[in-house]
Structure 1
Amino acid sequence: MAHQLMRAVPRLVARRAFSTSLARAGGGGGGMPAWQINPRNVYEDRPDFPMPNVPYVSELTDAQKALKTKEAGDWNSLSDEELKQLYRLKFHKSLAEIEAPTGEWKTVVGGTSLIIALTLVLYIIQKKYAMPEMPSTCNYEWQEAMMKRQLQMRNNPVEGLASKWDYENNKWK
């Protein structure tokens, strides 16, 4: 591990991987702050960053341009419908619409149930047709006979089964 690290360090230094100039190159200049979450000029509805860089509608129609000029005036003169239209120019969905449940859980539960059901059917088919029968050594009678045989042989009398059997009374201690 140390040998590989010693071989990799000169290559990384040669590529300036440890240089601070790489960190500055990503966020320096260009007029856009480096702390910005969404540096691209793309509209996105995100609840963690509810103010997108660009408005939802970028190319306005004549009616929308008239509404924008009316917006520059007194907002009390705007009707509720006009306020909603202005909001929809800037945002596609409200925060409540973004966070509204989608019902996707139903698809997930249905798909998971289907996979579990198919797995169960395959298991039953394999158990019935593909798997061999259990060997006779797995029977309860066989195991009981083996235990009696080990007790008769007094197998492992210090710590095994024979140490827990009372041979005078023929019962477990």
Structure 2
Amino acid sequence: MASRLFVSYLRPVIQIQRCGLVTVEKVNNRDVVGYGYNGEPTYLDRVDFPYPAIRWKENTADIMALREKEKGDWKKLSIDEKKILYRASFRQTFSEMNASTGKWKGILGMFLLVPSAAIWLFLYFKEFSNPPLPETFSMERRLAQLDRMKKLDMNPIDGLCARK
């Protein structure tokens, strides 16, 4: 019991702050508006869980005035006021969350770095680490060796297949 109480007391301190994730220590002057993801009072933009537990921005006098005006007729609010209210509650829209970040370019570049390094290492070792080939590997020497093998009749092919 005591250990569970101790862990629940330390939970806000233990949480890691990631991009877009705000821990309990940072709640300050924000409204807690729901249960949140996993029941923790954090803000996190997620497409699969669109209702964070706390609002994105802290309550200021301007925002509180707009919230009072919001309780009345919404037709009296201008488009800019609606946008300010939305941005006070949420950091991103769904289209901003789903927008491409361009991370795939960096991942592809890092992935292609490995084959590129492998090719350069192969070329380096092929050029500098192997000893030079003997003279007998030149084309004229190999042709001369083939001609000599024919003249000495080395390894003749016999049997039915060799007959014309």
TM-score under structure 2 normalisation?
0.58
CA contact (8 A) 1:67 1:86 kept: yes
Q: Is structure 2 residue 86 aligned with structure 1 residue 87?
A: yes
Aligned partner (choices 126, 142, 159) of residue 167 of structure 1:
159
Distance 1:36 1:42, change over 3 A: closer
1:74 aligns with 2:66: no
- What is the SS of the residue equivalent to 2:128? helix
The 2-side partners of 1:40 and 1:69 are apart by 27
Q: Point out which structure has higher relative CO (alpha carbons under 8 A, 6+ apart).
A: 2
The SS at the match of 2:122 is helix
C-alpha separation in 1, matches of 2:49 and 2:105? 27
| Deviation for aligned residue 1:132 | 5.5
CA RMSD of aligned residues (A): 3.1
Q: Which amino acid aligns with 1:170?
A: A
Alpha-carbon distance, 1:77 to partner: 0.6
Deviation at 1:36, TM superposition (A): 6.8
Cα distance in structure 2, aligned partners of 1:123 and 1:54: 56
Correspondence 1:50 to 2:42: no
Q: Number of paired residues?
A: 115
Look up the equivalent residue of 1:70 and give its one-letter code: K
Partner of 2:112: 113
5+ residue gaps, structure 2: 1-34, 137-141
Name the CA distance, whole Å, in 2 between partners of 1:54 and 1:116. Answer: 46
**In the TM superposition, what whole-angstrom CA distance separates every residue of 1:108-167 from its partner, at most 9, and x where no partner exists?**
22222333222211111012222457899xxx999xx9xx85x87xxxxxxxxxxxxx71
2:36–2:53 CA contact under 8 A, matched in 1: no
CA distance in 1 between counterparts of 2:105 and 2:66 reads: 42
Q: Relative to structure 1, is the Cα distance of residues 51 and 134 closer, same or farther in structure 2, using a 3 angstrom cutoff? A: farther
3-state SS of paired residue (2:51): coil
